[in-house]
Structure 1
């Protein structure tokens, strides 16, 4: 078993599971591409801009969030995954009730509303060990980049840090970098920075295995998207994050003669074979 995750807005006390956007639940499964991270970019480009966001797993521990972030969440981070996905179990087993809401519907809605994709609901029957037959469901996504003329970098407003999509081989348009076509892009960088329960080399299967102190360092902070022209006072940590991804085998990059960063596929026998675009 690996560590399963939710994406959480601590200020609004809203969260969603990658499952609700057609993804698997481990960080290195949904973090590189898919509906969950596409939805997060779309949300940060809208109503969630400048709010405290974190990616929290079911192996989370007390202390994974700062005291201020925990206060905003109104809940020990060790119980946050259950509060979003299994509130009845949390109440019955631990006597803990919360006002957190699961908004998988919102994640799907914002992707569709931005023109970035659609989700098809699929249903099937499951027979439990006791013979009970029940209906389950899931979603399959179809995503399409929608680049426009806007240029954005991802920022941590509390730490005055930023990551530049161009430094990961992406276009700076949110409608472009929200839909990844190779691993190791802006989405993966953001996922690793927000993953507060994957610090120290990870805690479960599918966690990010790098030991960089950057892992989880943005979790619980105010995150948003800004025009690069408005970030002159921000520290660009793109190169350091890119190095952490490469060291962990989660990204591979090269620089062209004009300084453009290109991204290949670190999991392929020929990482650059299918490269058909530059940043």
Structure 2
């Protein structure tokens, strides 16, 4: 089966769930994807909004300066300095229940990206998966001459 991973902010006790961005759960599935790396880039940007090409939405820099780790479900005590095995177990329990001290901000971040106009997410109705299409602004044709097709991501 392989190991599944979450992107976790240790200081805020928040996390991103790759499936809610339409990407796989394994490190090399979402690590080479588009939506989760974009979300991480926006959340970690410390000097956004000062020039062309910067993110135009709210929430940029929310995680700037915080301790961030990508934590797998095969975790062991000592994998992440400052987190106990119990902390990591609570993180994984938070993916199915809300009362374990960690907050899944995936839907909030997905909404933030969508409302900014930078990306479009098309939702599906399959349990466990929140997105079936992710289209960054470049792929929608911004800045392209009329008639040049956009790339569709499926």
So what's the TM-score if we normalise by structure 2? Answer: 0.69
- Mind listing any 5+ residue stretches in structure 1 that lack a counterpart? 89-96, 125-134, 146-279
Q: Is the 8 A contact 1:6 1:16 kept in 2?
A: yes
Q: Does 1:105 align with 2:115?
A: no
As a proportion of its length, which structure holds more strand? 1
Conservation of the 8 A alpha-carbon contact between 2:94 and 2:101: no
Aligned-pair Cα RMSD in Å: 2.5
Contact 1:21 1:107 in 2 (8 A): no
Distance 1:76 1:62 in 2: 10
Deviations 1:76-131 (A, max 9, x none): 33x1542331237xxxxxxxx6311111112202322454312111114xxxxxxx
* Structure 1 segment 34-183 matched on structure 2, within 5 A: 34-45=34-45, 46-66=61-81, 69-70=82-83, 75-77=86-88, 79-87=89-97, 98-124=100-126, 137-140=129-132, 141-145=134-138
Distance 1:50 1:113 in 2: 25
Structure 2 residue aligned with 1:197: none
Q: In the aligned structure 1, how far is the partner of 2:87 from the partner of 2:101?
A: 13
| Deviation sequence 1:126-163 (CA, Å, 0-9, x none) | xxxxxxxxx66530211235xxxxxxxxxxxxxxxxxx
Q: Verify the 8 A CA contact 2:95 2:104 in the aligned structure 1.
A: yes
Write the deviation string for residues 32-57 of structure 1: whole angstroms up to 9, x where unpaired.
22211110111112111001111111
Alignment of 1:1-16 (within 5 A): 1-16=1-16
Equivalent pair of 1:58/1:81 in contact (CA under 8 Å): no
State yes or no: 1:31 paired with 2:31: yes
Q: Is the 8 A contact 2:22 2:129 kept in 1?
A: no
Query: 1:85 & 1:58 partners in 2: Cα distance?
Result: 11
Asked if the contact 2:21–2:131 (Cα under 8 Å) also holds between the matched residues in 1, the reply is: yes
Q: Name the CA shift for 1:33/1:137 in 2 (closer, same or farther; >3 Å).
A: closer
